[in-house]
Amino acid sequence: MTQESVERRCEFRFPVVLPVEYFTPDNSGILSYVLDLSENGTFISSDDPLVPGSRFGGHLTVPFDYESSKIFRTHGTVTWNRVQPFRSKTNGT
């Protein structure tokens, strides 16, 4: 992501590492991690990111303490993706 697009964001993205399962248009589930989160966006690390414009559903697991967590069902639309020529945690949707 360019510095210009980061500056256009309306809200701060909190750096986090949370497990997520997101579903491709053919309903295949992919396990991955969210690396930042805000009210209106997130970055999901993925070796096979979805194409921009794709709608998807997901299950985001948020821990509350060492013994409990809650799964939140969510949905979204991919606005951009990044694919490096090698596997990297910065690849994603």
89: nearest Cα among 52, 39, 34? 34
Rounded alpha-carbon distances, angstroms, from residue 13 to 4, 37, 41, 68, 84: 15, 5, 8, 24, 22
Q: Which CATH superfamily is domain 3-77 in?
A: predicted glycosyltransferase like domains (2.40.10.220)
Give SS3 for 90. coil
Give me the residue spans of the domains in the chain: 3-77
Of 5-9, 27-31, 49-53, the one with minimum mean pLDDT is 5-9
Give residue-wise pLDDT tens across range 47-65: 888 999 999 999 999 999 9
Predicted confidence at residue 47, as pLDDT, reads 81
| Residue 3 confidence (pLDDT) above 50 | no
φ/ψ (deg, to 5) at 7: -70, -25
DSSP characters over 33-65? EEEEEETTEEEEE-SSPPPTT-EEEEEEEEESS
